[in-house]
């Protein structure tokens, strides 16, 4: 049963890290490579707010951005559920009060 619980925590941690990486990387990469003004010739007409700036991308880039942006819920939920289950199952532990004499 302990192996199953560790597997569940590993899967939740994997979802957390994958979603977090996708969200952070798409913001940083799009901010660095996409134009800050719309460009009809290249098809960069979809406005996106990335990394505290406005950038314009293609329809495919906009879809990928929205998918990564919508994954924020999974980042928060998987990390919260993983921590709660880890604490409940005793796999994760909080340090108790240590009295110094």
Residue 23 lies in a domain: yes
Identify the pLDDT of residue 101.
Answer: 54
pLDDT digits (tens, 9 = 90+) for 20-71: 888 899 999 999 999 999 999 999 999 999 988 999 999 999 999 998 888 8
Residue 68 lies in a domain: yes
State the sign of the Cα–Cα–Cα–Cα dihedral 11, 14, 20, 23: negative
Residue 3 lies in a domain: no
Give CA–CA dist 33/99, Å, rounded. 54
Does the model's pTM come out above 0.85?
no
State the sign of the Cα–Cα–Cα–Cα dihedral 17, 78, 27, 30: positive
Q: How many domains does the chain have?
A: 1
Residue 42, domain extent = 8-89
Residue 19 lies in a domain: yes
Residue 36 lies in a domain: yes
């Amino acid at each position: 049963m302990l192996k199953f619980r560790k597997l569940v925590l590993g899967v939740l941690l994997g979802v957390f890290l994958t979603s977090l990486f996708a969200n952070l990387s798409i913001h940083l990469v799009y901010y660095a490579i996409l134009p800050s003004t719309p460009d009809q010739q290249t098809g960069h007409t979809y406005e996106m707010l990335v990394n505290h700036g406005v950038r314009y991308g293609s329809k495919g880039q906009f879809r990928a951005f929205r998918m990564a942006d919508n994954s924020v819920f999974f980042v928060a939920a998987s990390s919260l559920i993983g921590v709660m289950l880890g604490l409940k199952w005793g796999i994760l532990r909080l340090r108790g009060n240590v009295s110094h004499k």
